Structures are given as structure tokens and as C-alpha cells.
Structure 1
Amino acid sequence: MFVIATAGHVDHGKSTLVRALTGMEPDRWAEERHRGMTIDLGFAWTTLDDEHMTAFVDVPGHQRFVTNMLAGVGPVSAVLFVIAADEGWRRQSAEHLAALQALGVRHGVLVVTRCDLADPGPAIEQARERLRDTGLAGMPAVAVSAASGRGLAALRAALRELTRALPAPRPGPARLWVDRTFTVRGSGTVVTGTLGSGTIAVGDELVLEPAGRTVQVRGLQSLKTKVERAEAVSRLAVNLRGLGANEVRRGHALVQPGAFAQVATLDVRLVRHPDRLPSHLVLHVGSAAVPVRLRMLGPHAARLTLTTALPLHMGERGLLRDPGAQHIVAGIVILDTMPPQLHARGDARRRATQLTGMSDRPDAVADIARRGAVRREALVTAGVLAHEAEVPADVVAVGEWLVAPALWKTWVSALSAAVDEWAAANPLSPGLAPEAAAGRAGITDLRLIGALMADAGLVLGSGAVRRKDAKIRFPEPVRRALDVIRARLREDPFAAPSAKELTRHRLSRQHLAAAVNAGLLCRLAPDVYLLPDAPAEAAHRLSGIDQPFTVSQARIAWGTSRRVAVPLLEYLDNQGTTRRTGNTHRLSGSPYCSWAFPP
């Protein structure tokens, strides 16, 4: 299916032309037929060839109904531009052209109507002059009279050529901008709109935005024909299950779950705008019209803050309208739906320079390079990636993150430097906690640190990031004191030094913790330290006594005091070497497992 919107000044015969082409009455309200003027959107369709249906969105031409006109033109990529031969180019002709230019519409047919009332030549020449230097310059022109039928065959031929030349819909997730909503007895709420991208099928779950509500497709009609599935571009009526007609209106959108972010702040490129713009405008995208606050960043760059978030992708186009003057003041191209905050002096100027260099179409590699690191999901919902499995070339992919190579190298270098600086300043603890290491290196997400450690030649030991060959460096007096204690423990494995003895040797808790990390001592409890192989020797001695045994029997087997025996038994229990039952213990049936300590 092809969808084409009408455009042109009020009372230039747009609706009459659509009626003549399709044999259908596009106008919707009795008031419209009574007044002979289109007020709201109308829809009609016909078959221009044997294969494809062409639908027409008939828009009002009167200035007072410019909002309705934009709701119809917004989701459409081709236009039937209508000018009356007896009146020529008029004010709303220029207004509609400005809207089409700003939206990037480049395909259409120029139709000069009422050629039975005046020579169409001057109107065609006038229109071609106005269309010069626009995306619609050079589109074919056809003179018709809807009353007599003159030129309609030529117009049909021109429309067939137009539809053949239309580019295929841009691949993307499903999104349908709602332009009508009503209730059908026995079916419930029905919305209509133009499906500009993606596919919708009966039974699909979609998200109604901006409410963020999940809804189910109960039924589909395309041009009053029931279908099970519809692809872009299509005019659709969608029957939604469990939704009241008062809960959805024009400007809402049905979108594929997980495919769009709700955007309330965006940076844009301004297209065809005056030197001065008011700060409060209305943004038109699709069928939506949302008040926005505009902040100029540069001559052609601005930030928009929306009063209502919309499901938008980067690269989309929209229009800015002055609500007071009721006319289009600028077009926009959405450059960034995840813009950075602007706080420091000069941020706006630097941001404008950055925006000036950005492409109108999303570029994943450039976007990742600009942000440094970004989650895959964010790029999918911004329309930069088609799906989360897509990985652009020359990008570092780690889990949910995509990282620019330059930033990755910076992180690797910063992580190495942070660990080395810490080790130099802390000889007793050369490893840096992962959280601290990530913070010092400016790493976005702690979950990235594993891959960064590998690239930096670092390892994780005892819960700390360190060099593979990092060793604890004890001051010489501390080393001598540890040697004395270890020598005594080798002679009597369970004669743990007392707190006073440790103090006398000037061994602080930091020194003792470092000794444990270095594998020189094993800590059983505060101020209770043995050699690392003491638990294995303890289990060996317990194997020679009757099972089960009491704490006193274990203490005797070890030749030590309760100060040592109680925490040693708790240690063995925790390791699964022994098992406690009531007031007794016994060796476990499983073989004793040796303890592994960091080197």
C-alpha cells in the first residue's frame, strides 16, 4: 500500500479531487459537507494498478486547522500538492510547502485543479517558481478538472509513476501514530493511523504511549478489510482489547515494546527558521502536537524540552509551530534523544559545535565515539541500532556496553596507573578494591572491570585488583617480628601468640592482615593467629582420637588453650572438616580439603 497526503490552500479542490480519484467521500463530518470545507482529516483509497492500493489522507487547507493538517502530513512521505488554476499560489500553499520541506518530503505530484475555469499554465509556472530549490522541485505537474474529468487519467498515470518511485519504508520497529479514535459496539475501542514502520499483527502486544500502557491487538482492518497482519506503510484501524476510547486520543502512539524510549529532552538541528524564535512553541511529530520550551544553542542548533514525552528516534523530522501566530516557524531534525546536561560555562557553545558536525541520519560508530560508552538497549530505543545483538565494527562490546576504542584504551591506562599508584603508596596492601579502582579510573560500570583488567595485565586476588606479580612488602622490623612468630609456631603449631605478644612485637592489625593476605598467617579470630597449615595439622591430630569428641578432648589433642581451641573448631566446622552435633564434634566423612590462600 502507498499513502499520500494532500496539501494546498483552502477551497482549492483537494477533497473534490480525492473524491474524483477514488469515488469515495473523504470528508468526515456533516459540518464539513455543509460548509464545503475540510475541517479534520479525511481518508479515501483506490487501486491505481492491479497490485497496489493507494490511500489518500485529505488534510484541511484553512489556517485555523493547521494542527489537523500537520497530523495528517506528519506520518506520510508523499504529497498531492493542489493549486487552483483560477487562484494560483496562495498563503496556505506556502505554509504547506514550508511544512513539507521541513519534514523532508521529496516525492509528490503537482496538481492544478479547476482548469475548466482558467488556463492552468500560469498557475503551473508560478508553482514551479515557488518549488524551485526545494525537495519537491521538478515533480510532475498535471492539470485537471474534477468536475469534467479532464486530466484525471493523466493524474492516475502520474500517481502510478510516483508510487513506483517511492523508496521502500525504512526498516524499523512498529509505530502507529493515532489520528482517530472511536468505539464500535461489540468490539470496543478502535484507533486509526498510518503505520510508518514495522509490522502489526492480531494478538500482538503493543505499548500505548505516552501512557506506557501495554495493550493487545484484538483485530486489524486495512481500508475496511480485515487482515491478520499489516506491514508499513499502511492505513490501519486497530481494535484494542481492554482500553476505553477516553484513554486514547490523537497524538498517542502504538509502539513495539522495548523499541522506543520516552523522550522529554532532545537536541535538534533547525531547518528553515527565522533569526529569532520564541521560547515557547508547539512541536509536531507524527500526529502529536506537544508544547515545548526551546533553548537556542547555536545558529542552527537547539534543545527542546517537551511537556509530554514522546516515543522518538534520532534522525526523525518534525515541525515547530508558533501557537499564537498559528504558523510553522521551523523544521527540526532530531540529532540526539539522550543529550548531555549543560551546566558549566561554555557547555552550550561546545554542544552547538558538536551538533553542527553530526549527521541527520543515525550513525552508530559516530554516536558511540561521541558518548564514549553507551548501553546497547539505549541505542536500540534511540533508533541507532536495529537490535541489541548488533555490534558496529571497531567498537568494544562487553556485556550490555558498547565502548569507543579510544575510551577503552584510556580506561585500561587509567586502571593500570590507579593500581600501580595504590601499590606504591600501600606496600602492605598492593591490591585495590574493584569499586575503588573503577572510581579512580573513571570507569562507567563496575561490570566492565573484568575485561579491562585482562587488557591491563591485572588480576583479582583476595577481592582486590593487583598486578600478577604484586607482592606485599613488609618493613624490615615487621618482617623480623613475623619471622620470630612463625618460627615459634613451627615448633608448637597451636601456641598462638597472645595480644600482648603481638603488641610487644609492634604488629598492628594492618600488619597482621597483610600477613594473612600474603599467606604467612591464618586468622582464626581477633588476635588469634596460626600458620596456614595449622588447620590441616589439627584435622590430622583429631583423626587419632575417638569420635565424637568435645572441645576439651580436641584442646588436649592439640596441646593448646580454649582461647585457641574454640575458634579453631569453629573454623574447621565452617570449612566442613568437622561437624558439630550438640556439644560434641566429629570429623566429616568427606576427605579433608586443603585451604587455598593467595600467594
Structure 2
Amino acid sequence: MDVIATAGHVDHGKSRLVRALTGMEPDRWEEERRRGLTIDLGFAWTTLPSGRRLAVVDVPGHERFIGNMLAGVGSAPAALVVVAADDGWSAQTAEHVAVLDALGVRHALLAVTKADLADPGPVLADVRERLARTSMGEVPGIAVSAVTGAGVPEVVAGLEVLLAGLPAPDRAAPVRLWIDRAFPIRGAGTVVTGTLAAGSVAPGDRLQLGDREVGVRAVQSLGEPVERAGATARVALNLRGIGVEELARGDALLTPGAFRFTGEVDVTLGAEPERLPAEAIVHVGSAAVAARLRPLEGAAVRLRLATPLPLRVGDRLLLRDPGARRVLGADVRDVDPPELRRRGAARARAAELAAQAPGAAGAAADLARRRVVRAADFAAMGWPVPEGATQAGPWLLAPGLADELAAGLPALVGRYRQQHPLEAGPPVAVVRRELGLPDDELLRAVVRPPLALREGRVAVATAGLPPRVQQAVDGIRARLATEPFAAPEAGELTGAGLGPRELAAAVRDGQLVKIAEGVYLAPGVEGEAAVRLAGVAAPFSLSQARSAWGTTRRVAVPLMEWLDARGVTERLPDNTRRLR
């Protein structure tokens, strides 16, 4: 399906042309039909001779309803500009065209109506010349009379050509459906409508609405139920779990987690304006939100929104100054902008935005500035993953950053070990803070041989112990090699120069095993203990185990509890044990 918006003055026969093209009445309210005045958005659709399905959003032409007009054109990819032959270019036409130009609409068709009442030639020439100076460029123009039907087939043919030239929508993109109507239906519940500009939606989908999720019970498009509606399309969604009073025009239904709600956004205008208002109304989709404007420099502006909106880099906004009846187009450049605290920060930020490239190049520059960001957040900002970026769990590191940090890590570990020679390396938390990383998980991307993550530290794999400590530990282990359960007494350890710090270092280095406070044995004692117990009839008592090990009660009691905890032995109700 294709969607277009009609734009033009209230007296230019816009609604009559829509009726002639579709056979449907776009004016939904009795007051509109009685006054001949489009007040709110109207909707109609038809099937063109080629078989293309076309939906039309008829927007109000009167200046008093410019807000409603903006809600209708925001998501439409093309426009039908309507001007009357007996009236020509008007203030309202200029306002509508300025809106289309500010939104960057590039695909349009001109229809000069009431060709039965006046010569359409001069108006066609004049309006086409004016449109050529906008984003729409050279627009085909057709004279038509909705009363006599003359020119209607030519308008239909023009629409066929227009729609054939539209870029293909991205149906794999996340959904952001700006709601333009919400109403109840007896027996069905809440229904919302909007123009689906990207993605697809089907019954059973879950969509985000503010800080909650709602379910899609049913989907209709052009008045008919569908199994799945894909962009571009006018859709009506029957929602589950929400009342119509909880919804309003300008709300957005979103693919969960795919968009970032932001109250502050950096944008660039199409050109540096002569004057910027302090406040303006920001229009995007069907939403309209007040904002304060902070000029940075040149065409760069920071917007502080009164209500956060789900925006992405690359979105096109329209800034409307109600007092001056002036509109400006703005491209979203950053939905999570940095704070501007230092003198000259605004000018520097404007320079960054001016140099920011679109697509992958812009993504690489933005990620380089942030250094590290959650991958889901980066995608929600609207950026693709740049080539060379490093994924570490849920995190994304800027291209080259992991290599840079890894190269500097050995020196950091070396400095720490000089200050703490008994420790294998600095704790993970210390390294993370030194490197300015937000999560311990990120160290897996930067710790590389000969360094390793071990027992909560970044350690040198072959670090070993200081020579004096190593000599003392070697002495202890030499005796344990012949008497594996003869744990040295406290005085023997102290006499050998092995205090709590030295013993802890030996345990971290894997040269001793701490069974309990003051009880240290050699690695492999678990297997040797099990081998000796295998020769004792089960179940066996603690005394029998102590005899099999040839050790004292000081060692046997904690050793047996240590083996119980490790699942080597099993304690029975009568306090005897057996091997598992």
C-alpha cells in the first residue's frame, strides 16, 4: 500500500478532488460537511488501475487547524498539493508548502482544481515555479475539475508515476506508529489508527506505549482485517489492556526497546536562521511538544522538550513558531547529547555536529566520543554498529579502543605489583576504574596473554611469588610431599616468614591449599585423601579417617568438613561418613 497526504487551501476543492479520486467522503464530521471545511484529518482509499492500493490522508487547509494538518503529513512519504485555478497561490498554500519543505518531502504531485471555472495555465506555471525552490523540486502539474471529471484520469496516472518512484520502505525496521486517532468500538475495545512508515505489525504483537507494553488483538488496513500489515500502510490496531482515555494523538506505539525517549536533543537546521525563537512547538509524526531552543552556533541547536519523545538520529522534526507563523526543518543529530559546562563547549559541539557524517561514518565518530555504550542503547539511538567496533557482552567499544586499553594494561598491572608484590595482580574493580570502564564484564575484551582474569584479579599468568616467599613455600611443600596431611603449625609458618599475606599469596598462586584458618596443605590433597579413605570400610568415623591420613585432630576435623563441602564425602545422620 502507498500513502499520500493532500495539502492545500480550504477553498481549493481538496476534499472534492479526494472524493472524485476515491469515491469516499474524507470529511468525517457532520460539521465539516455542513460548513464545507476540513477541520480534522480525513481518510480515504482506493485501488489504482495498476492494482496499487492507495490511502489518502486529507489534512485541514485552514490556518486555524495547522496543528491537525501537521499531524497528518508527518508520516506520509508523498503529497498531493492542491491549488484552485480561480484563486491561485494563497497564504495557506504557502504555509502548507513551507511545512512540506521543512519536512523534506521530495515526492509530490500538483493538482490545479476548478479548471472548469478559470484558465489553469497561469496557476500551473506559477505554482510549479514556486515548488521548484523547495525540497519537492520539479513537480508535475495537472489541471482537473472534480465537478466535470475532466483531468481526473490524468491525476490518477500522475499518482501512479509518483508512487512508482517512492523508495521502498524498510519492513524489517522497528515499529514506531504515531497515533492520530483513538476510539472505542463496542465489543472490541480500544482502537487506534496511524500511518505505518516502517516495520510491520500483526495480531499478537507486543508494543511499547510509554513505560508499559500493550498487546495487539487485531489489525485492519483500509477497513479490512489483515494477518500482518507492512509499511507503508494506514493501519487500525485493536489494543488489549488499555482504555481509550489513556491514549491521545501524538502517542507512539513502539517495538519494545528499539527507541530511546529523550527530553534533550541536538539538531541541525537546514540553514542558519536569521532569528530563532526562544520557544517553539516541535512536530514529529502526529506529536506536538513544546520545546526551549538553545542556539549552539551556526545551524546547530539544542532542544529541551517539555515531554520526552521516542526519537532517533536521522529523524526529521518540524519547529513551528506560533507567533511568527514560521516553520523550520531540523534533522536529529544526537538523542543523548553531552552536557555543555565549559566555556566554548557550545561552539565545539556545533563543530562536531557540522562535521558529523551520516550512516556508518557518523556512527563510528559518535561511538568514539562515547568510548563505551550498551549495544541496545546505541541501536535505539538510531546508529548502525560501525565496522571495527568490539562487542563485549551487552557492551559496544569504539573501534580500536579494546586494543588501546589492552596495550596499556601490562604497565598498569606492573605498577600495582611493584606496590603489592604478594598479590598476583590488581583486583578487577581497580583495573576497571583505572581504565574508565563502566562494567567488569568489559575486561574480558582487554585482558590478553600474558595477563589473565583469575579469582577476581587481573594477574600475570607466570607472576610467581617473591624469591624469599617462594623459598619458604618450597620448604613447606617439600615436607608435605612425604607427609601430605602434616599441616605445619602456626609457629613453623611464622618462623619460615609466612604470615597471613604471604600465605594468601601462595594460595592465590595455587601453591598451597587453605583448608581452614591456620591449616594449609599442598595442591592435590583432595585426591590423596579420597584414595586413603577408599581403603577404609564404609561408613567410617572421623577417628578412622584420621588414622588413615596419619594426622592430628587439628587437621582431620577441618579436612573432613572441607571434603564434605566439596562433595568428596557424605556425612550420615550418625556422624559417620562415606565416599560419594
Superposition TM-score, scaled by structure 2 size: 0.89
**1:273·1:330 contact (CA, 8 Å) conserved in 2?**
no
Cα deviation code 1:322-357 (max 9, x no counterpart): 2445x3432111222233344444443332222112
SS of aligned partner of 1:249: coil
Q: Which residue of 1 aligns with 2:236?
A: 237
The Cα of 1:265 is off from its aligned counterpart by: 2.9
Residue of structure 1 aligned with 2:459, choices 435, 455, 466: 466
The Cα of 1:78 is off from its aligned counterpart by: 1.0
Q: Which residue of 2 aligns with 1:84?
A: 84
**1:549·1:584 contact (CA, 8 Å) conserved in 2?**
no
The CA distance in 2 between the partners of 1:70 and 1:428, in whole Å, is: 70
SS of aligned partner of 2:150: coil
The Cα of 1:51 is off from its aligned counterpart by: 0.6
**1:261·1:382 contact (CA, 8 Å) conserved in 2?**
yes
**1:277·1:329 contact (CA, 8 Å) conserved in 2?**
no
**2:513·2:523 contact (CA, 8 Å) conserved in 1?**
yes
The Cα of 1:420 is off from its aligned counterpart by: 2.5
1:36 counterpart letter in structure 2: G
| Paired residue total | 578
SS of aligned partner of 1:159: helix
Q: Which residue of 1 aligns with 2:333?
A: 335
**1:499·1:527 contact (CA, 8 Å) conserved in 2?**
yes
Residue of structure 1 aligned with 2:399, choices 400, 405, 409: 405
SS of aligned partner of 1:148: coil
1:522 counterpart letter in structure 2: V
SS of aligned partner of 1:339: coil
Task: Classify 1:552/1:35 alpha carbon distance in 2 versus 1 (closer, same or farther; 3 Å).
Answer: same
Q: Which residue of 2 aligns with 1:443?
A: 437
Q: Which residue of 1 aligns with 2:508?
A: 517
Q: Which residue of 2 aligns with 1:223?
A: 222
The CA distance in 2 between the partners of 1:489 and 1:237, in whole Å, is: 79
Superposition TM-score, scaled by structure 1 size: 0.87
Q: For structure 1, which segment, 295-304 or 494-503, has the greater mean C-alpha deviation from structure 2 after superposition? A: 494-503
The CA distance in 1 between the partners of 2:268 and 2:256, in whole Å, is: 28
Task: Classify 1:457/1:282 alpha carbon distance in 2 versus 1 (closer, same or farther; 3 Å).
Answer: farther
**2:132·2:139 contact (CA, 8 Å) conserved in 1?**
no
SS of aligned partner of 1:405: coil
Cα deviation code 1:43-73 (max 9, x no counterpart): 2223332411222211112221110000011
The CA distance in 1 between the partners of 2:305 and 2:40, in whole Å, is: 25
SS of aligned partner of 2:346: helix
Q: Which residue of 2 aligns with 1:93?
A: 93
Residue of structure 2 aligned with 1:419, choices 413, 420, 428: 413
The CA distance in 2 between the partners of 1:380 and 1:408, in whole Å, is: 20
Map 1:343-358 onto structure 2 (within 5 A). 343-358=341-356
Q: Which residue of 1 aligns with 2:38?
A: 38
**2:206·2:215 contact (CA, 8 Å) conserved in 1?**
yes
Cα deviation code 1:458-497 (max 9, x no counterpart): 22334432223222224x3x45555565566567655544
Map 1:201-350 onto structure 2 (within 5 A). 201=202, 203-210=203-210, 212-220=212-220, 222-272=221-271, 274-325=273-324, 327-350=325-348
Map 1:54-93 onto structure 2 (within 5 A). 54-93=54-93
**1:74·1:285 contact (CA, 8 Å) conserved in 2?**
yes
The CA distance in 2 between the partners of 1:541 and 1:169, in whole Å, is: 74
The Cα of 1:118 is off from its aligned counterpart by: 3.4
**1:431·1:465 contact (CA, 8 Å) conserved in 2?**
yes
Map 1:99-138 onto structure 2 (within 5 A). 99-138=99-138
The CA distance in 2 between the partners of 1:579 and 1:361, in whole Å, is: 62
Task: Classify 1:87/1:360 alpha carbon distance in 2 versus 1 (closer, same or farther; 3 Å).
Answer: farther
Task: Classify 1:240/1:491 alpha carbon distance in 2 versus 1 (closer, same or farther; 3 Å).
Answer: closer
**Structure 1 stretches of 5 or more lacking a match?**
386-390, 590-599
Task: Classify 1:151/1:536 alpha carbon distance in 2 versus 1 (closer, same or farther; 3 Å).
Answer: closer
Identity, in percent, stands at 50
Q: For structure 1, which segment, 355-364 or 263-272, has the greater mean C-alpha deviation from structure 2 after superposition? A: 355-364
The Cα of 1:233 is off from its aligned counterpart by: 1.4
The CA distance in 2 between the partners of 1:239 and 1:519, in whole Å, is: 64
SS of aligned partner of 1:197: coil
The CA distance in 2 between the partners of 1:258 and 1:219, in whole Å, is: 22
The CA distance in 2 between the partners of 1:299 and 1:238, in whole Å, is: 43
Q: Which residue of 1 aligns with 2:193?
A: 192
Q: For structure 1, which segment, 67-76 or 540-549, has the greater mean C-alpha deviation from structure 2 after superposition? A: 540-549
The CA distance in 1 between the partners of 2:18 and 2:527, in whole Å, is: 93
The CA distance in 2 between the partners of 1:447 and 1:262, in whole Å, is: 26
SS of aligned partner of 1:297: strand
Q: For structure 1, which segment, 161-170 or 456-465, has the greater mean C-alpha deviation from structure 2 after superposition? A: 456-465
Q: Which residue of 2 aligns with 1:156?
A: 156
The CA distance in 2 between the partners of 1:525 and 1:105, in whole Å, is: 76
2:380 counterpart letter in structure 1: T
RMSD: 3.0
Task: Classify 1:541/1:9 alpha carbon distance in 2 versus 1 (closer, same or farther; 3 Å).
Answer: closer
Q: For structure 1, which segment, 155-164 or 209-218, has the greater mean C-alpha deviation from structure 2 after superposition? A: 209-218
The Cα of 1:40 is off from its aligned counterpart by: 0.8
Cα deviation code 1:527-566 (max 9, x no counterpart): 3334446666655665666655544555566565433332
**2:99·2:327 contact (CA, 8 Å) conserved in 1?**
no
The CA distance in 2 between the partners of 1:149 and 1:559, in whole Å, is: 111
Task: Classify 1:527/1:331 alpha carbon distance in 2 versus 1 (closer, same or farther; 3 Å).
Answer: same
2:413 counterpart letter in structure 1: V
The CA distance in 2 between the partners of 1:531 and 1:19, in whole Å, is: 92
Task: Classify 1:226/1:492 alpha carbon distance in 2 versus 1 (closer, same or farther; 3 Å).
Answer: closer
SS of aligned partner of 1:422: helix
Cα deviation code 1:152-172 (max 9, x no counterpart): 333222222212222222342
**1:219·1:240 contact (CA, 8 Å) conserved in 2?**
no
The CA distance in 2 between the partners of 1:90 and 1:321, in whole Å, is: 19
**2:538·2:577 contact (CA, 8 Å) conserved in 1?**
yes
Task: Classify 1:231/1:426 alpha carbon distance in 2 versus 1 (closer, same or farther; 3 Å).
Answer: same
The CA distance in 1 between the partners of 2:506 and 2:239, in whole Å, is: 69
Task: Classify 1:403/1:520 alpha carbon distance in 2 versus 1 (closer, same or farther; 3 Å).
Answer: closer
The CA distance in 1 between the partners of 2:297 and 2:10, in whole Å, is: 36
Q: Which residue of 2 aligns with 1:526?
A: 517
1:308 counterpart letter in structure 2: T
The Cα of 1:367 is off from its aligned counterpart by: 4.5
Q: Which residue of 2 aligns with 1:431?
A: 425
**1:43·1:56 contact (CA, 8 Å) conserved in 2?**
yes
**Structure 2 stretches of 5 or more lacking a match?**
none
**1:210·1:308 contact (CA, 8 Å) conserved in 2?**
no
Task: Classify 1:213/1:279 alpha carbon distance in 2 versus 1 (closer, same or farther; 3 Å).
Answer: farther
The CA distance in 1 between the partners of 2:461 and 2:192, in whole Å, is: 64
